[in-house]
Structure 1
């Protein structure tokens, strides 16, 4: 019965997403359906909200997400992001490499424009190549997401670690090799075969070149600093981010890239994002408060299939349905935490297969936006993505098999 309720709740969520409702609202409505079918009392509902508001980790999560936007505003408004792109264009003799690196770097720092922000850059970088719309769409989409496994700035990773009780740095070390593999696979299937027809090179002055080089360093430094603070020093995401954001204010001023404090901290008040996050966190507490989480855990423990296999399959399906990392993370990580709080291996399984699902579904907004921008065929673009995604998932399975042992599966 509990699986039927969960299935219907997920279908309701999917229906609302198809109607272009915000992910947080869609998930919360699904959670309210579960509450109505299990223990529809005001006490349980208010208990879930109270519990959500009392957990310190939730404030760390919201603070970190807010500060990510602050950093994005600093780099974008100061011109560092645009200068970084120009510097990369001159830095690499291989224009193919530049074509792959540009969307990858912009994906490393989640920007408000998402795939729509990097698409025009890919369009510009692809000039001089014999390239189809599907090639450009696949490159923009795939390389923007290779850091889903290794960036402390990815909202899904921050949310996953906060719920499952693992450090962001530990998860990056655990899954970081997949980012390298994703780049190589994207290169093999999407970039390597492109034929260059013209060698387009933009002439700029020495002064402009120097400024772009400085922009490149200024854009890269806060990303490296965040990774270092989280991995080497084990700082919480919000603590690391506030240090970097505050430090960047005088740094940008010193290099004549000043951005007003009001623009940074007021401009980062993305209320839509905060509402989504609060709805997701409330959904998580509803699962716990109504006892659904405990029932799911008990059902998984009684299943003849190994727990990682079940987690992987469910994560993939939910990633497919929601098309967004916060979606499969919000639904699966409470289950992972209930089964084994702080289990890095199990968190890795849920993350990898959840991302695999979101990478091949039309519910993923980045995919939809990219296909629309380049006017590419959805299924031809999907074919290119699948050519890279299938071996990437296969690599994780093989590594996990030989790392954890046959008994784990």
Structure 2
């Protein structure tokens, strides 16, 4: 039996969102747990503890948390052993393609301060381009594969929040990826010409090995889901991520002592705890009575898109907005199609790459010795074009 009025339940949700937005700037894990407890204590006090205990004993939640925890460790191993440097050093392509691919591939390594790895590469390859444009290139292309790479915390958490199977939105997001590449070319790369001069001879092995590590996890995960169809699908994800990590360790010839140092630096337990916190918040949200209340609110998909963009811009994250906006959408409309998920996820992404609150943006600006106003001047045109066109597409689908 509900203990309080509908208005108070909505106020409890607003309070939990405020806590989530404020505390997430310091610790996303702490923010998720605090928001969940705040919402749960007010709306479902008698069910809160059993819900948390059930979550901690749920094989799907445990497997998903462990998989998310291991992902940044793969990036740390590949970075520390020089595997990404060898991959980028053996891409024999034109300057424009290099400026697209090199930050994008490094961006697949989930690790704090990763923008500092790709910014010097973009700086050298960009030649005489203005520093503001180099900053825009680094941030735009560094994050562009977030749209389609399924073995990442951002994507896993967003699809979990939207109650979608992991790979269903990818065909639609692939279209948005191509659209983003086109916008990046038009607004950021038109003035780039020529080829990159390499100091070392080409090595096919150094090109292929890191690519295999990066592609093994999503290919293996999709294969396990398609052919074995395990009862706990997240177990397949954990096996795939573990296999990719094992291969990175073997190829990098990582010694146990070095692996220990890399593990401490990557902090996989922090990412795993964050995943548990996010699932806990989602479960509390679904049990709180809020979904029933939101069905009558005057929220259109277009309004939700604008809120998603604003949350991406204000938080400088993808995970936090996804954990808020997709449950709200599902509460209002019952479910979300893969195409609409893709467009709203893209709205979060656009706010995320534009805002100076995003650590990669601030680190890139500092590394390339440019200013926020120069970065914004470069990024506002492609982000505005992308936002208007994707918002129009969402309105058309509605």
Q: Is the TM value for this pair above 0.5? A: yes
Number of the residue aligned with 1:84: 87
Please give the residue correspondences for 1:9-408 in structure 2 after superposition, counting only pairs within 5 Å. 9-17=16-24, 20-35=25-40, 38-39=42-43, 41=45, 43-88=46-91, 91-92=92-93, 94-126=94-126, 129-194=127-192, 201-204=197-200, 206=201, 209-210=202-203, 213-231=204-222, 234=225, 236=233, 239-240=236-237, 242-243=239-240, 245-246=242-243, 249=246, 253=250, 257-260=252-255, 263-264=258-259, 267=263, 269-296=267-294, 298-300=295-297, 303=298, 306=300, 308-338=301-331, 339-341=333-335, 343-400=337-394, 404=397, 408=398
Supply the distance in 2 between the matched residues of 1:353 and 1:30 (Cα, whole angstroms).
23
Supply the distance in 1 between the matched residues of 2:54 and 2:343 (Cα, whole angstroms).
27
Greater shift, 180-189 or 315-324, is seen at 315-324
Q: Pairwise CA RMSD of aligned residues?
A: 3.1
Shift in Å, 1:146: 0.8
Number of residue-to-residue matches in the alignment: 381
Shift in Å, 1:169: 1.8
Please state whether the residue corresponding to 1:113 is helix, strand or coil. coil
What per-residue deviation string (whole Å, max 9, x for no partner) do you get for residues 144-199 of structure 1? 11112200122111112223332222111221111122122112211222477xx7
Q: Is the 8 A contact 1:226 1:241 kept in 2?
A: no
Supply the distance in 1 between the matched residues of 2:323 and 2:163 (Cα, whole angstroms).
14
Supply the distance in 1 between the matched residues of 2:216 and 2:244 (Cα, whole angstroms).
10
Supply the distance in 1 between the matched residues of 2:393 and 2:103 (Cα, whole angstroms).
27
Shift in Å, 1:374: 2.0
Shift in Å, 1:262: 6.6
Supply the distance in 2 between the matched residues of 1:186 and 1:329 (Cα, whole angstroms).
24
TM-score, structure 1 normalization:
0.81
Q: Is the 8 A contact 2:330 2:336 kept in 1?
A: yes
Supply the distance in 1 between the matched residues of 2:59 and 2:304 (Cα, whole angstroms).
27
Number of the residue aligned with 2:229: none
Supply the distance in 2 between the matched residues of 1:316 and 1:6 (Cα, whole angstroms).
20
Please state whether the residue corresponding to 2:113 is helix, strand or coil. coil
Supply the distance in 1 between the matched residues of 2:325 and 2:394 (Cα, whole angstroms).
19
Supply the distance in 1 between the matched residues of 2:22 and 2:348 (Cα, whole angstroms).
19
Q: Is the 8 A contact 1:107 1:144 kept in 2?
A: yes
Change (3 A) 1:246 1:275: closer
Supply the distance in 1 between the matched residues of 2:368 and 2:309 (Cα, whole angstroms).
27
Shift in Å, 1:315: 1.9
Shift in Å, 1:279: 2.7
Shift in Å, 1:81: 0.8
Supply the distance in 2 between the matched residues of 1:281 and 1:252 (Cα, whole angstroms).
30
Q: Is the 8 A contact 2:70 2:241 kept in 1?
A: no
Q: Is the 8 A contact 1:110 1:154 kept in 2?
A: yes
Greater shift, 98-107 or 355-364, is seen at 355-364
Supply the distance in 2 between the matched residues of 1:227 and 1:150 (Cα, whole angstroms).
10
TM-score, structure 2 normalization:
0.83
Q: Is the 8 A contact 2:60 2:235 kept in 1?
A: no
Shift in Å, 1:139: 1.1
Change (3 A) 1:155 1:247: closer
Shift in Å, 1:142: 0.8
Shift in Å, 1:8: 4.5
Please state whether the residue corresponding to 2:90 is helix, strand or coil. helix
Supply the distance in 2 between the matched residues of 1:371 and 1:22 (Cα, whole angstroms).
23
Change (3 A) 1:372 1:247: closer
Shift in Å, 1:323: 1.8
